[in-house]
Amino acid sequence: MTDKLEDKQKPSISWLEFFIERAIQASGISAIVLVVLIFLFLIQEGIPAFFEVPLSSLFAARWYPIEDYFGLLPLIMGSLIVTLGAAIVSLPLGLATAIFIAEIAPAWVRDILKPFVEVLAGIPSVVIGFIGMLVFAPMMRVALNIPTGLTAFTGILLLAWMALPTIVSVAEDVLDAVPVTYRDAGLALGMTRWQVIWRIVLPDGRSGVLMALMLGVGRTIGETMTVMMVTGNAARIPTGIGDLFMPVRTMTATIAAEMGEVAQGSAHYHVLFAVGLTLFVITFIVNIAAASVVFRQVKRAERMLS
Amino acid sequence: MRPKTTSLTLKLIALLLAVLALGGCRRQSAPTAEEGAAAIIQNKGSDTMVNLALAWAEQYQLFEPHVRVAVTGGGTGTGIAALINGTVDIANASRRIKAEELEEAQGNGIEPVEFVVARDAIAVIVHPSNPVDELTLQQISDIYSGKITNWQAVGGEDRPIVLLSRETNSGTHVYFLEEVLRLGQSDNKTLFSPDTLLLPSSEGIGVEVRQNPNAIGYDGLGYVTADMKTLAVSRGAGQPYYPPTAKTVNAGEYPIARDLYMYTAGEPQGQIKAYLEWILGPAAQQTVLELGFVPISDTGATP
């Protein structure tokens, strides 16, 4: 840390250490370089779409690429409805589970629950999609008396299920990191257990909890296989709350389904990259928004401490 | 410690180089070994035909042990592109080669030669409990374009119709659009209803049709199993309805049937010629029947 320490270590730095330092530095920089390269690649392949296809066509309501209908609206709406829905379902559930594991459950329950939740995170999305297609969608059709079980709602529930382990695991770590002394202080002042959780633990871990939610949502917006298998992939524009129980087509499923056989360099190819670019920009905005909230809170905390 | 690591690294590098060198050798020798002791025929294309092509390749191996047929899928477009680039000997296609593909091939100095190797009927499938037995092409077109949305309109129960289709990159999807939705009329611009569920696999359609009494789907006859119901189809009102079977397809009676093709680069020679002749013969055509496709009635190669 201080100059003195560095001075002491200097003579012992061998070429190996120099090499390791450079390697670590390079891997750090490579993350940035990779993101920039991906972004440039998407721009290079996606921007021609805006010249080849008139803007009015890109914002039309119909997506049927083999007949040159390139309306992106149904895809964007489809992705938004499924992602937002999954976020709304998974956030309270995930947070409640994390609070239960971190604050309320006895130690032995917690020792069982935590690893199980983490195993849940490891289930491949294609397996979840398969369960959804074979078991969940038929159940939904019968239970809700809707024409088909392959709907946005089925996708929302499955995606929420996939986001939960991430949210629970990260949020629980964050809550666990809140110093015990804070809780003790609250309890000593005569606060109830609920007041301690709501007024002390959660506000203190707020930025970390937000990060957990963002990671969970991040998994849902990029998820492809599950949504492709259970949402029906009908490119229709959702207009009302009833459309939750109708099929939708997401941006990710569209790219996955169509990229395989599209002619390279065609308008359809460029439009698919434009879809990817849109997806990238949306996740980028979400991440920046989350980071700025976290950052602002850190600054406020520093101000209060100083 | 350090010298040991170095020698290990050296060994690893040597191994890597050896693997690379071997890989290079194989890549070079594969396409040239067409004749001689171990001939390899590269066969690629239509996903509809991939099971059939694999079955043929396996049987031919028993029959001609010194010939190996390497089969890959990827779709009709992929197979024809590979033929144009000269990387395969035979391209499988579930549709005719397009005019622009033909031009591109001729530009590369390749003259594709067409063989009809089997036929495929596209069955219209519904849930076994659905009381509807038969539909006209016009009715199917109206159902898929969203003009008819309730089974009652075609003599069924009062249920909404759930439309199932393969994804747009499937040759079957394009065929169904042109020959059924648009009734084969080139100036007809009918589209699939936006409510159509586009499922990524035949299996997805099968799962939904088996459990959902509202659903209607379509797929190659080879993918139809006993636990779904196939509909009889007629060309128009007042005309006879035919179920999809080998007999009705070969008699030209069942209206939604297509030819399956193999394309070679130029007139086939040597082992490739022998393989194609075997495919058009009775033994290979028996396999066509077993896999749920329709054998060609006469051994008619159409060059």
Minimum mean pLDDT among A262-266, B276-280, B286-290: which range?
A262-266
Instruction: Decide: pTM greater than 0.80.
Output: no
Q: How far off is chain A from B148, nearest CA to CA, in Å?
A: 15
Determine the average pLDDT of the residues in A153-170. 92
Residue A138 to residue B212, Cβ atoms within 8 A: yes
C-alpha closest to that of B260 among B22, B132, B79, B70: B79
Query: Cα separation of A236 and B223, whole Å?
Result: 28
For residue A137, the model assigns a pLDDT of 92
Show the tokens assigned to A209. Answer: 């909890």
Q: What is the pLDDT of residue A8?
A: 52
Q: What is the pLDDT of residues B158-167, one digit of tens each?
A: 999 999 998 8
Contact state of B78 with A246 under an 8 Å Cβ cutoff = no
pLDDT (tens digit, 9 = 90+) per residue, B177-188?
999 999 988 888
Closest Cβ opposite residue A261 in set B77, B196, B197: B77
pLDDT at residue A302 tops 70: no
C-alpha span between B77 and B93 (Å, rounded): 8
Answer whether B75 sits within 8 Å of A235, measured CB to CB.
no
Share of residues in chain A with pLDDT > 70 (%):
92
Q: Is the pLDDT of residue B274 over 80?
A: yes
Of B160, B174, B196, the CB nearest to A66: B174
Are B77 and A150 inside 8 Å of each other by CB? no
Nearest alpha carbon to residue A160 among A55, A84, A104, A96: A84
pLDDT at A4 (0 to 100)? 53
Task: Choose the closest CB to B168 out of A66, A246, A247.
Answer: A66
Please provide the DSSP assignment of chain A as one string. Answer: --HHHHHHHGGG--HHHHHHHHHHHHHHHHHHHHHHHHHHHHHHHHTHHHHHS-HHHHTSS-EEGGGTEE--HHHHHHHHHHHHHHHHHHHHHHHHHHHIIIIIS-HHHHHHHHHHHHHHHTS-HHHHHHHIIIIIHHHHHHHHT-S-S-SHHHHHHHHHHHHHHHHHHHHHHHHHHS-HHHHHHHHHTT--HHHIIIIIIHHHTHHHHHHHHHHHHHHHHH--HHHHHHSBT------SGGGGGS-B--HHHHHHHHGGGPPTTSHHHHHHHHHHHHHHHHHHHHHHHHHHHHHHHHHHHHHHH-
pLDDT digits (tens, 9 = 90+) for A72-81: 999 999 999 9
Highest mean pLDDT among A249-263, B37-51, B115-129: B115-129
Inspect the interface and report whether the beta carbons of A62 and B194 lie closer than 8 Å. Answer: yes
Which chain A residues touch B200 with a CB distance below 8 Å?
228-229, 233, 256-257
**Residue B178 has what DSSP assignment?**
I
Mean pLDDT of A28-43: 93
Query: CB contacts < 8 Å between A and B, how many?
Result: 77
| Contact criterion met (CB < 8 Å) for B169 and A229 | no
CATH number of A76-268: 1.10.3720.10
In this prediction, residues A11-17 reach a mean pLDDT of 75
* Chain A residues within 8 A of B77 when measuring between CB atoms: 261, 263
Provide the pLDDT confidence category of residue B35 given band limits of 50, 70 and 90: very low
Contact status of B196 with chain A (Cβ, < 8 Å): yes
Q: pLDDT class for B9, splitting at 50, 70, 90? A: low
From CA A121, how far away is CA B73, in angstroms rounded?
Answer: 33
Burial of residue A68 (number of CB atoms within 10 Å: 0-12, 13-18, 19+): exposed
Looking at the complex, does the CB of residue B65 fall below 8 Å from at least one CB of chain A? no
User: What is the mean predicted confidence (pLDDT) over B23-51?
Assistant: 64
A75 → chain B, closest CA residue = B194
Asked if A246 is an interface residue toward chain B (Cβ–Cβ < 8 A), one would say: yes
Interchain CB contact of B165 with A (< 8 Å): no
Distance of residue A147 Cα from the nearest chain B Cα, in angstroms: 6
Q: Which residues of A131-153 are buried (b: 16+ CB within 10 A; e: fewer)?
A: bbbeebbbebbeeeebbbbbbbb
Report chain B residues whose CB lies below 8 A from the CB of A69: 191
Q: How far apart are CA B171 and CA B194, in angstroms?
A: 19
What is the per-residue pLDDT for B26? 42
Contacts for A4-9 with beta carbons within 8 Å, 24 or more apart?
Answer: none
What is the separation of C-alpha B98 from the centre of its chain, rounded to a whole number of angstroms? 16
Q: What is the nearest CA distance from B27 to chain A, expressed in angstroms? A: 24
A249 vs B: CB within 8 A: yes
Q: Which of B191, B199, B212 sits opposite A141 (nearest CB)?
A: B212
What H or E segment, with its residue span, contains residue B76? Answer: helix B76-84
Chain A neighbors of B176, CB-CB under 8 A: none
- pLDDT at res. B113: 93
Determine which of A14, A62, A64 to mutate to test the interface with B (most B C-beta atoms within 10 Å): A64
Of B192, B197, B198, which is closest to A148 when you measure between CB atoms? B197
Residue A258: list chain B partners with CB under 8 A: 167-169
Query: B38-118+260-290 has which CATH code?
Result: 3.40.190.10
Residues of chain B in contact with residue A148, where contact means CB-CB under 8 angstroms, are 162, 197, 208, 212, 214-215
Q: Is B184 on the interface with A (CB under 8 A)?
A: no
| Every domain of chain A and the residues it spans | 76-268
Report how far residue A151's alpha carbon sits from residue B208's, in angstroms, rounded to the nearest whole number.
Answer: 12
Select from 1.10.1510.10, 3.90.1640.30, 3.50.50.60, 3.40.190.10 the CATH code of B120-257: 3.40.190.10
| CA dist., res. A266 & res. A31, Å (int) | 31
Pick A150's closest partner by Cβ from B168, B191, B197: B197
Q: Tell me whether residues B194 and A261 touch, CB distance under 8 A.
A: no
Band (pLDDT 50/70/90 cuts) for residue B7 is low
How far does the CA of residue B204 sit from the closest CA of chain A (Å)? 8
Task: Give the mean pLDDT of B53-66.
Answer: 91
Q: How far is CA A20 from the centre of its chain?
A: 33
Using a CB-CB distance cutoff of 8 angstroms, which residues of chain B are in contact with residue A233?
A: 167, 197-200
Task: Give residue B302's pLDDT band: very low, low, confident or very high (50, 70, 90).
Answer: very low
Determine the average pLDDT of the residues in B24-42.
54
pLDDT at A13 (0 to 100): 65
Cβ-defined contact of B212 to A260 (cutoff 8 Å): no
Is A229 within 8 Å of B167 when comparing Cβ atoms? no
Q: How confident is the model at residue A300 (pLDDT cuts 50, 70, 90)?
A: low
Give residue-wise pLDDT tens across range A90-124: 989 999 999 999 989 998 999 999 889 888 888 88
Give A272-288 pLDDT, tens digit per residue.
Answer: 999 999 999 988 888 88
Chain A residues with CB inside 8 Å of B47's CB?
Answer: none
Of B169, B207, B214, which has the smallest distance from its Cβ to A260's Cβ? B169
With CA atoms as reference, report the closest residue to A244 among A143, A126, A154: A154
The per-residue pLDDT for B94 is 86
8 Å CB contact of A257 and B194 = no
pLDDT digits (tens, 9 = 90+) for B90-136: 999 988 888 888 888 898 899 999 999 999 889 999 999 999 999 99
> With an 8 Å Cβ cutoff, are B195 and A236 in contact?
yes
pLDDT at B37 over 70: no
Residue ranges of A 74-133 with Cβ closer than 8 A to chain B:
74, 133
pLDDT in tens, B209-254: 999 999 999 988 878 888 999 999 999 888 999 999 888 888 889 9
Instruction: Give phi and psi for A62, each to the nearest 5.
Output: -115, 130
pLDDT tens figures, B135-165 = 999 999 999 999 999 999 999 999 999 999 9
Q: With bands split at pLDDT 50, 70 and 90, how would you rate the model's confidence at B301?
A: very low
SS3 of B72, please?
Answer: strand
